[in-house]
Structure 1
Amino acid sequence: MKTVTIIDVAKRAGVSKSTVSQYLNGRYEYMGADTRERIKQAVEELGYRPNTIARSLKKKKTKTIGVILANILYSFSTKVIRAIEDVCNREGYQVIICNADDNPSKEKWYIEMLLAKQVDGIIAIPTKSNIDLYRKLKERNYPLVFVDRYIDGLDISTMMLHNEKAAKMCVDELTDNGYERIAMLTMEPISITPRFERIQGYKKALEDKGLKATEDYIASAPLKEMQTRLKELMALKQPPQAIIAINDLSFMQLLTFVKENKLEVPGDLAIIGIDDISFADLFDPPLTTIAQPAFDIGREAAAALIQKINNRYVMDADIRRFEPRLIRRASSTKS
């Protein structure tokens, strides 16, 4: 089958090659409606498809961005990528999604793969193990935006939740309902930005309420060991009256523990989860959660990256914090 070229389209529409090029690039300012319609019909009749590789070489842009997710299983990640894709689709960008599984080696491989594919920019939920690679990209003025996590010493625009405030909302909700022995369930490693900040917020909020933040009540474990860690937590001489799950995957582990041990919520144990899981209002009883505006975070990250790609000024070293929202349901109230 003969490849249809832009010259074929121009001949069929009765216009010049440059006019077709302007049409394909959306530059209609000096083009009459009749001319546009003829070109459109010629494109459809001939089945013309622009050579994106050739156009990329000419413009030195691929109209493609890469997104590196720390873990695609987080509900936050899926919402963020949906918002990024919406913005990029509207702006004519394709998106390559990479799931790093919180594995620095896999993250490094994806960064190098995306650069080899000459993507115009990268949005990343970074680990802390590829600082040198990100620093080299920053020194080249390569368009980069971080989401959910920042790296000290790297002046890169970052979009993230106000994590300490989210944890404070949890503590305030529980103490206002009469709970004093409040634990926090977190995945390891706890050095990851949102986990570290939420733990700090939890400690400060307890101190503000005149309560002691004991290390025994900060239950951290890898996901596969979390059930054992919860058993240890609840076996303490003074077990917690309430538990805050630091993210949606931890919350799922907590709900599994509650079910398997036939605990009544909130009678035996009050619970709150940071990240509003989709079935929170369908659970019995409905679950109190802290929602973060993941769609807003994703949209702002995509918009900032596209601005960088287009050489518009975007302040680096700017950590933009988004506000958490308490969704009060029955799992955090006194029965």
Structure 2
Amino acid sequence: MPENKKVNIDDVAKRAGVSIATISRYLNGQLNRMSTKTADKIAKIIDEMEYVPNAAARQLVTQSSHLIAVIAFDIDDYFTSEFFKGISEILATAGYTPVLFDSNSDAQRERELLKIVSEQNFDGLIMQPILHDAAELKELLKREMPMITLDREIEGFPAVITNNETIATQMAQHFRQQGYERMIIVTNPIDQASTRAQRIRGIEAVFSDAPILEVPQHGQQDAFMVSGIQNLIARRTEKVVVFVLKENLLMKLLGAPGRETLWHNPQITFSGFADTNAFSLLTKPLALVKQQPYLMGATAAELLLKKFSGQAIEPRTIIPALFHK
């Protein structure tokens, strides 16, 4: 064999005197479909010829890429890195590799990514969607593909979520018992995520008149939040909880210029959803809701693998969050 010629599966099959299909079965571990003698012979020839299986060629035979698309809402979030870690570790045990895409909290970008995923040979999809119309999602995908949604719900697709409404109610009840009379909800656009509406419903079960400060997804979010909160508390004297529905917004708020008057006001406390331990460094301890993103990602991967094997799965799997007082 010339040194500059790459050995392919056909070369190995000819040398071994077997079919390409037999070589493919060997490479995919289907040794029960051949004799021990044949398997040993193929192994020896592969070693002698220094054959490296071509992934694209294997896909043609098996009709499987063993690649899983993962579309995240915002890869800058700690939540994303943790759920992707959970996905990766579970999929690796089954021989699958996840490929991460970032919609960057942009619905149009998500549409483009869904088109890309549908045109490539991905075996399945796990996504943290912005779009919430099932019909549009199916149209964009163009082909049947096993899919799990994560941290969001879309009718007709299995979802892994936090107990958003229940944990928000528990948190609100805690602050009511602590003597807080008012809660200000700070969130990114509500219509971008079903989970935000669930959390707000949980809070409103306790603080029915809680004002909502809806922060634009992009732009000067820190200044917007500080001025918005100052306007909402102006000329009021009751004890107030500022509850932020997303960790990176809470970080921006507590690091924003001008937030000092809010932070040092004894009538105001801050809380929110936060999955990192960064807030433990603050001089004033905060009561926070912690999700379990690693477990959520791992669970989504396990459900996808079950779908591959034809097992029935529940339409909704809830991974409880924890309220750290």
Counterpart residue number, 1:321: 318
Counterpart residue number, 1:169: 170
* Superposed displacement of residue 157, structure 1: 0.4
- 2:287 paired with 1:293: no
Change (3 A) 1:47 1:238: farther
Provide the rounded CA distance (Å) in 2 between the counterparts of 1:190 and 1:148: 14
Of stretches 78-87 and 224-233 in structure 1, the one that deviates more from structure 2 is 224-233
Counterpart residue number, 1:221: 215
Deviation readout 1:53-74 (Å, 9 max, x if unpaired): 1221222221111111122222
Counterpart residue number, 2:76: 73
Counterpart residue number, 2:109: 106
Counterpart residue number, 2:206: 205
CA contact (8 A) 1:166 1:274 kept: no
Deviation readout 1:145-173 (Å, 9 max, x if unpaired): 1111113xx31101101101121232123
Provide the rounded CA distance (Å) in 1 between the counterparts of 2:308 and 2:239: 50
* Superposed displacement of residue 241, structure 1: 2.2
Counterpart residue number, 2:244: 245
CA contact (8 A) 2:25 2:31 kept: yes
Change (3 A) 1:38 1:259: farther
CA contact (8 A) 1:163 1:197 kept: yes
The secondary structure found in structure 2 opposite 1:62 is coil
Provide the rounded CA distance (Å) in 2 between the counterparts of 1:227 and 1:264: 11
Change (3 A) 1:236 1:131: farther
* Superposed displacement of residue 111, structure 1: 0.6
Counterpart residue number, 1:210: none
1:1-335 aligned within 5 A: 1-6=4-9, 20-28=23-31, 43=46, 46-128=49-131, 131-136=134-139, 141-151=144-154, 154-190=155-191, 192-206=193-207, 213-215=208-210, 217-223=211-217, 224=221, 225-238=224-237, 240-257=239-256, 260-264=259-263, 267-310=266-309, 312-315=310-313, 318-328=315-325
* Superposed displacement of residue 35, structure 1: 8.5
What amino acid is aligned across from residue 278 of structure 2 in structure 1? F
How many residues are aligned here? 316
What amino acid is aligned across from residue 323 of structure 1 in structure 2? P
The secondary structure found in structure 2 opposite 1:205 is coil
CA contact (8 A) 1:138 1:144 kept: no
Of stretches 83-92 and 197-206 in structure 1, the one that deviates more from structure 2 is 83-92
Change (3 A) 1:267 1:26: farther
Stretches of structure 2 that go unaligned for 5 or more consecutive residues are none
Of stretches 114-123 and 273-282 in structure 1, the one that deviates more from structure 2 is 273-282
- The TM-score, its normalising length taken from structure 2, stands at 0.83
Change (3 A) 1:180 1:258: farther
Stretches of structure 1 that go unaligned for 5 or more consecutive residues are 207-212, 329-335
Provide the rounded CA distance (Å) in 1 between the counterparts of 2:10 and 2:142: 42
Change (3 A) 1:196 1:259: same
Counterpart residue number, 1:331: none
Provide the rounded CA distance (Å) in 1 between the counterparts of 2:322 and 2:129: 25
Change (3 A) 1:266 1:75: farther
CA contact (8 A) 1:64 1:119 kept: yes
* Superposed displacement of residue 3, structure 1: 0.9
* Superposed displacement of residue 89, structure 1: 1.9
* Superposed displacement of residue 270, structure 1: 1.7
* Superposed displacement of residue 101, structure 1: 1.7
Of stretches 282-291 and 77-86 in structure 1, the one that deviates more from structure 2 is 282-291
What amino acid is aligned across from residue 197 of structure 1 in structure 2? Q
* Superposed displacement of residue 129, structure 1: 5.9
Provide the rounded CA distance (Å) in 2 between the counterparts of 1:140 and 1:114: 10
Change (3 A) 1:239 1:131: farther
CA contact (8 A) 2:179 2:239 kept: no
Over aligned residue pairs, what C-alpha RMSD do you find? Answer: 3.2
